[in-house]
Structure formats: C-alpha cells, structure tokens
Amino acid sequence: MIVFIERNLKLFFRDRLAVFFSLLSVFIIIGLYALFLGDVWMNDSMKDLKNAQTMMNSWLVSGLLTVTSMTTTMGAFGVMIDDKVQKINKDFDSSPIKKSSITGGYIGSSFLIGVIMALITAVVAEIYIVHSGGEWLTPIACMKVFLLILLTALTNTSLVCFVVSFFKSHSAFSTASTILGTLIGFLTGIYLPVGTLPASVQTVIKVFPVSHGASLFRQVLMEVPMQNSFDGIPAIYLEEFKEYMGVTFRFGGHEVTPTASIVILLCTAVVFYSLSLFNMLRKHR
C-alpha cells in the first residue's frame, strides 16, 4: 500500500494543472478578500478595535486552511478517476495486490496531499500575518494547528472519498469539484460571516461537519488577536463577535464546546470512511 501511495503522490504533484485547480477556490477567496471583501468586513465598528486587521487576517486564514484540506483532497482523488477512465484499475484488479491495499492507497495519498497542502498554506499565511503586523504563533498553538490540520484532512478525505466513489468519468468528477469549490466558501462562513446569514442557512452551516473544523481553527488562530482587540471591552461584546463570525457555534442557546466539535469531526470521518470502503470494495468484487 505504501508503494501505491507513493505512486499516487507522484502522479498528483507531477500534474501542475491539477494542483493549481485543487487550490483554485483558495486563490478566489484570497482575490475576493483583497479586492473588496476585506473592506466590507472592516466596517466602521470593526475599525475602532485595536489590531482589527490582524484579527481578521487570522479569521481568513482559519477558513483557508479548512478549504485547502477539502479542495486538495478532492483534487487528489482525480488520480483514482483517471485510473477508472483509462481502465488502469482493471490491471490492479487482476494483480495480486489486495483490493483493500488499492483502496487504502487512494485514501492515504489523498489524506497526505490534503495535509501537505494545508501545512504549506499555514506556513505562508503565518509569514504574511507576521509581516503585516501580527505575532508569531506560540509552540503550543502551532501544535494545535498541526493536529487540527490532520483532523480536518481526515474528515474531508472521508467525505470526499464517499462522494467520488460513485464517479466513473471526468465530467462527473469535474462537475462535483466545481460545485464543491463554489459551496465550500459559504458552508465554512468565509464569503459572509455566519451571523449575517438567515437562521435556516446558519443551521445548515452548523450541522455541516467541515464548518466545525473552521470554528476550531478560528479559536486557535484568533485567540491572541481577539484578546488584544477586545482588551478593556466588556466580555459580552467578545462573545457576540465570536458567534457572529463563526468562531463559536450555538444550538438552542448552548455553545458547542471544542471537544464536541472534535467528536463531530471524528465521528464523521469514521462513518464516511466505512461507507467509502464498503462502496469501493463492493465495486471491486
């Protein structure tokens, strides 16, 4: 399986166009932020806060990390679709390689690609934040970010794998990638803060597992910037800000704890990995 993972990694990173399109949603979000979204978020009340720009940069990066691990894992599964279209999977099926090893190879390589690309995004984003006046993350915060990258990549890989396991053509895969790239910014509350959306849409976002990954990233990356910006301001305003910007979620007046969000992500990963393995192994029989 390790050899098969290496093979998939080489095929993905060798195709520069595939790498680019897997990051297209990230580039679009950055472009929108630079052109006009940044000015929209930095309204008059926000400008009164200390270091507001640094805080909002951290908010944006949190969403980008979530989007990156989702779209790059989707792009990585393009190797599996290529194998189906070119009938290369028939050669694998007739070989002595275990079907579970082949399936594990696709899943493992996609997971690693999601982790690698998210780590690169995190490093570049942190350098940008510091360059624009922010502070370096503490070692503990860096470790939390790394663990969250692993967790979100794991969950995203399981979700994407289940969806992709039904595809047999490039057109279906491309359509799904386009739809995912369009929706992911809304479902993670990047294009518009969660608090600006109708209650029904907010509920959809809160039950979408990946949104909990974005919430956890925000709680880690924005912890120090929020403390600096809201220093001397009543705590109630900070709590309202957190809920408005999707840093924390509430259901029925009860705040979702970080532990609950982690459990949601882990359960989602287990359930959809099981469904993906069942579907993929069933088709190999």
52 has pLDDT over 90: no
237 has pLDDT over 90: no
Q: What number is the average pLDDT over the span 252-265?
A: 91
Strand partners of residue 145: none
259 has pLDDT over 80: yes
Report the range of poorest mean pLDDT among 21-25, 158-162, 194-198: 21-25
The token pair at 84 is 């189906």
Structure confidence by residue, pLDDT tens digits, 77-121: 988 888 888 877 666 666 666 776 777 888 899 999 999 999 999
> Please, which pLDDT band fits residue 11 given cuts at 50, 70 and 90?
confident
Overall domain count for the chain: 1
Structure confidence by residue, pLDDT tens digits, 271-281: 999 888 888 77
Q: Report how far apart the first and last C-alpha atoms of the chain are (Å, whole number).
A: 19
Rounded-to-integer distance, Cα 157 and Cα 44, Å: 40
Percent over 90 (pLDDT), the chain = 31
Task: Give the pLDDT confidence score for residue 212 in this predicted structure.
Answer: 94
Residues of the domain holding 45: 2-284
Task: Give the pLDDT confidence score for residue 166 in this predicted structure.
Answer: 87
Task: Give the pLDDT confidence score for residue 36 in this predicted structure.
Answer: 64
Structure confidence by residue, pLDDT tens digits, 248-258: 998 877 889 99
Nearest to 188 by CA among 221, 210, 203: 210
**Rounded mean pLDDT of the chain?**
85
Rounded-to-integer distance, Cα 103 and Cα 101, Å: 5
Q: Taking a C-beta distance cutoff of 8 angstroms, is the pair 194, 245 a contact?
A: yes
